[in-house]
Amino acid sequence: MEDSIKQLKIKPGGVRELLAIALPMVISSACEVVMTFTDRLFLSKIGSEQMAAAMGGGLTCYLMMTFVMGMTNFSTALVAQNLGSGRKEKCAYVLTQSLIVCLIAYPIILLLRPAGIWMFEFSKVEEIQLVPQVQYYNILIYAVIVGLVRNSLSCFFSGIGKTRVVMLSAMGAMAVNIAMNYVLIFGKYGFPAMGIRGAAIGTIVGGVFGLLCLTAAYFSPRNRKAFGVAKAFHFDWTIMKSLLRFGYPAGLEHFLNLLAFTIAIMIFHSEGADTSAAFTILFNWDMLSFIPLIGVQIGVTSLVGRYMGASEPATASRAAMSGLKIGWAYSALMMIMFVGFPEQLVEMFRPEDPLKLTNFANNIKPIALFLIKTVPFYIMLEAVVIVFCGALRGAGDTFWAMCISVSQHWLIVPIVYIIVKKTNLSAQWGWVAFIIIFMLFAGVFYLRYKSGKWKNIKVVTPEEEALATHDGFHETPDL
């Protein structure tokens, strides 16, 4: 009887404990994917160039906020390590410092708005795509503060292990976003048909709804009492210093990676509207295989951070391997979809206009099919990169995670450029090179994790630990 009871207990760092944190974040990440996917699916019915414009404009807008978002993402690990070391009252202080960073960054991002438009023009995107792309970008850029603050609040709840709050917020944002986009893009229920401008507005409205949900949860009576929220609204140099010191490599990594990825996408898009549309179809589906794994990464980062804060590196390592098992299980399901139904995946994005449909069938679909069929070659390695990168970040090994990831992305750019622009090879072969480089660097991430050097990093100092108690580490108050 006693053995049966022991078996029912959740093993620290095991799959069940990680799933309790990661599953809501997987669902949250999936909601973000569905929002973006639906936007582009709706726009594809108007025209493939509108769909590609939403990808180019949205990606560039996100690029403008990546450094700040990457830096404040470390607050997940910082909150988790403070919670793990018994300093629960400091968790709300971490959020305050994150919000301060966001507020300082917002006007700087707006000042950099013209740089995004310059990138569109420099990449020589065709005029039929350029005009709606600029429209989409110009609307979204003014609402980046919503995304930054929403992300900071999500990191707080992820760090304390209450990822269900983030999930419910994301589900609400998704529902509002899809409904608003349907109404505004196509002009339903008396609203004018706004096309890509309606897609941008709908995205903002959905984001605001998600932010309101998280704000309500943060200021709920139970959360205020549990984490001393009312006392945390002031500058704390000790926490800010940790956030900047350990967060800047992640922020720099996030920015440089997306910059490299955006440049590579623009190289592909510069090959013409048909190639641009085909690559947009690829990345719409690739997001479905990749972005939900970010939820697993957040769970790994939170759990590794918490156990490292409690000086339990062996349990932190077990949490990382649990993340890999979950990631591989999800990737295997996605592989079945890509192997079994490539043509159906492409056909979902066929336009309704008969004239555009002919071009889609003759020019866009063959390229998109080739690209979709390459996904199974690297899909399992996505989990390796995401999980081990999350484990390194949770432990505070953000500098080396940055070096590996940035090297990978910036090796891709010149190789893709040479293949696509300096040889007679097609953009498809540039994508094949992209995949090969990604596969090689998955091994580099594994080797860094396997070295075990991350186990010796201290984010919460011994002096801070001496002031804290470990009581209540394995339990956090219900929200």
pLDDT(465) > 60: no
Tens digits of residue pLDDT in 176-225? 999 999 999 888 888 888 888 999 999 999 999 999 999 999 999 998 88
CA 154, 166, 113, 262 torsion-angle sign: positive
Distance CA 120, CA 142 (A): 18
Per-residue model confidence as pLDDT tens digits over 126-141: 778 888 889 999 999 9
Which CA distances in Å does 206 have to 123, 312, 385? 30, 40, 30
Please give the model's pTM, rounded to 2 decimal places: 0.74
C-alpha to C-alpha distances, 211 to 152, 204, 206, 218, 425, nearest whole angstrom: 10, 11, 9, 11, 46
Q: What is the mean pLDDT of residues 51-71?
A: 87
pLDDT of 101? 94
Predicted pLDDT at 472: 37
Q: 334 with 288: CB under 8 angstroms?
A: yes
Which tokens hold the place of 42?
């709706």
Count the helices and strands in the chain (H runs, E runs): 21, 0
Stretch 301-310: mean pLDDT? 79
Tell me what the mean pLDDT of segment 96-108 comes to: 94
**pLDDT tens for each residue of 369-425:** 999 998 888 888 888 888 888 888 777 777 787 788 888 888 888 998 899 888 878
pLDDT in the model for residue 457: 66
Question: What pLDDT sits at residue 98?
Answer: 93
How confident is the model over 416-435, as pLDDT tens digits? 889 988 887 888 898 988 88
What is the C-alpha to C-alpha distance for residues 132 and 164, in angstroms, rounded to an integer?
A: 36
How high is the pLDDT of residue 41? 85
Identify which has the larger pLDDT, 134 or 5: 134
Task: Reply yes or no on whether the pLDDT at 66 is more than 70.
Answer: yes
φ/ψ bin of 35: left (φ > 0), alpha (ψ from -120 to 50), beta (otherwise): alpha
Band the pLDDT of 279: cuts 50, 70, 90. confident
pLDDT tier at 355, thresholds 50, 70, 90: confident
Read off the pLDDT band of 299 (50, 70, 90): confident
Q: Is a pLDDT exceeding 70 seen at residue 5?
A: no
Domain limits, the chain: 12-460
Q: What is the mean pLDDT of the chain?
A: 83
